[in-house]
Structure 1
Amino acid sequence: MARTVVPLNDTKIKKAKSEDKNIKLSDGGGLYLLIDKNNNKFWRFDYYRPYSKKRNTISFGIYPEVSLADARARRDEARSLLAQNLDPNEEKKRIALEHGDSLKNTFEFVAKEWLAKQKFADSTYKKSESLFDVIFEGIGKKPINKVTPVDVLNICRIYERQEKFETAKKVKVKCGQVLRYGVATGLCERDVTQDLRGALTTPVAEHMSAITTPNEFAELLNDIDHYEGTYITKVALKLAPLVFVRPGELRHAKWSDIDFNEKIWSYTPPKTKSKTGVELIVPLSDQVLKLFQDIYPVTSNQSDFVFPAVTSNLKPMSENTINQALRRLGYQKEQVSGHGFRASARTMLEEILQFPIEIIEMQLGHQVRDMHGRAYNRTKHLEKRRKMMQEWADYCDKIKQDYADSLKN
């Protein structure tokens, strides 16, 4: 017996949630609403091509920008074409070409061309692709020189309604990057996102959670020493506060970048390169050197990475590993994060150990300029930084021991 399809209505659509997996809500006649894991809602129409048993899918846009009534009208139009043995997708392309809108001038085509030229890290590339999936639903098939400020704003509003204001801002930025590429390649005259200044809700800046008081930081260091997870994760967790590099830089650490004789770790990760354009050198304190020496026989013979992923030696550990380990120790997201170790070190190095801020900033991988406005050379003040990193490690040991002693009394 055929399953009866109950037609959709706006109330049902508005209340529908994905529950961490893609779901489909059918409206009948091949039309359905696809709700992804982020609760974005896309209209889809499934059909079988004329003279073929191969099923195809056509997109009708994003709800609520494309209403239920509009989606049904587009479905009926597509079914009318099928009744004439015409493929709706092919007919759409034919009409576009007849009107002189070359497929190579569409926003989607230009965006993919621009995206292919960017030297993003894999994770950044995937995030960009995910964001563009939603953008393409709205304006992908539109000629880039026909995109208007309102077109972009409508896509931004999708995220603003979900109170994802930072993501809405990213949509505007990404569209602007593609449009400027279009200007440079002669496909459009200007970046229309410039007209959206003040139109979006300004996201509230969220600072990375960090512990900056000695007593609480000592407790954290003591808890890390008693972490009961995997050995590789524990070493990474113990190194994180001592080297205070970005979490992505720590997990991408390679054995080829570590010089045990010179006691330095030097590398140029994508994020540091984009911000400063120079290689970062991390002087290794005695404590850090020992941690690297301890884990060397465990991972060096199986991976280029100091901290390989559990699933593959060809990849570094997951970007969430450090934060998940901190959660296992009982620390909430609002208390501390892997990135927060940088703020902890910066605060205590300046306020308690009283190191010059320019030395601290240089070690953090930030752009630091001298009195003449010139960026410091990467090797500048290396001995001072070496001294600072050793004193920082010694300080961490001292407050951790003081905390452990206080528990005995």
Structure 2
Amino acid sequence: MAKINLSVSAIANLKIPNNKNYLTATFSGFPGLQLYLRWESKHVQPEGLDSVERQSKTVYNWRYRYQKPNSTQRTAVSLGNYPDVSIDEAKAEHGRLMALVKAGTDPQIEVLQDKLRQKMLASMVDGFTKKSSVNHVFMEFKKDWELTGGTERALRNYELSYEKYILPHWNGRDMKSISPREWDEFVLNIANIQGKKGAAEAVHKAMRRLFSYAVEKDIVASNPLFGRKAVLPSIASTPDETYLESRDVHKLLTELDEQPCEPMLKTLIALMLRVGVRSEEWTRVKLGWINFQKMRIEHPPEAMKNRKKAWTHLPENVITLLIDYIGTLKDRYGELDKEMYLFHEHDPHSQLERDYFSRKVSELSGWLKFTPKIFRKTVSTHLQERGCPSEVLRAIRNQTLAKGTGKNYEFGDLFQLKKEWIDRWQLILEEVKHDPEALIGEKESQLNDELSSKVNDLFA
């Protein structure tokens, strides 16, 4: 329909046609601003309604439609429903989001992260009010500290670990819902990803003590960290395999095509580096799971390690890679069907063994030494250094979300954030392809040119 003036009277005259379920209105002078009209339920029968009833059963949703920065893709973000969000409020938000796009920021990320901040704020409130929350228990623990006979220094050490590491991550979390495996991952992240072994040990000790206190006060039935000192030897100062550093990623991007290995293995390596899915999950992917129109793989629950459904976002460059690879399958078989496995050896309907790719990548050890697991670590580490939230990283890796903390995310919202970070990762990889040092973070030490020259002279 033609653009209309943005006014109360113009909106009041909008009507969903009887032969449709929706109507999209656009407005003169406000590019991208839309009002999307739909029935409140699929059971509405519009033919028998008068004008007042039609309005009462219509949902009016403000939207801003725009082209994503650095992309040809167009998308839309919801601004809320009219009249809850007034015309003036919609105008103001439209102006703000237009300014974000002009500055190269995707409004969808901004809106989702704002929504997340609001939910995190609610979690902070829980931290002070819910009796079994981590924060509430720690406040009580401090009040009772003198009764334990402990020293002020010991309490201060617990406080330092709590305030710097535990509070930002666990604050409003119900202590009853924290699993040992989840805690181990948190501690090992501090030790091996952040490189703070001493801090990890102190944090683990503080949380074990807090759980013991919670047991004494009948807040939890048992201490899930009791006897779990075994996690500490797993804290490695120099892990055998951490992640691919900047120059290794550059080497992989620029030299993979030249390696003497089968095309299927090259395709898989490129996919794992770009979207971070486990190699064994790729062995289960069937052609019918790939939703090309929506740019994603839709993994059914039974195919996932955590038995939860998952969607893997496929950026445009990954779609191109898949189209080329699947084209070779079509040339081989003449006809494709949805039950064919994406990766297979001789029979397209027989699944590869789970360790197939682990065995195959060992053939490349003379060029670049790695295992399939290193790609997920590489994606996670470099995105984490650029501010990607931990729960989004878990979702990118298709891991189970932390109980409680995961409630801050709805499945659709989380997938949108996954998409944005994976798309950002593609741009980062393009930089690395041209600059071997593009992934070197600000925190990483770099020798100055003068000293580098002296070192080179020594070992020339």
Fold shared by both chains (TM-score > 0.5): no
| TM-score (ref. length: structure 1) | 0.43
TM-score by length of 2: 0.39
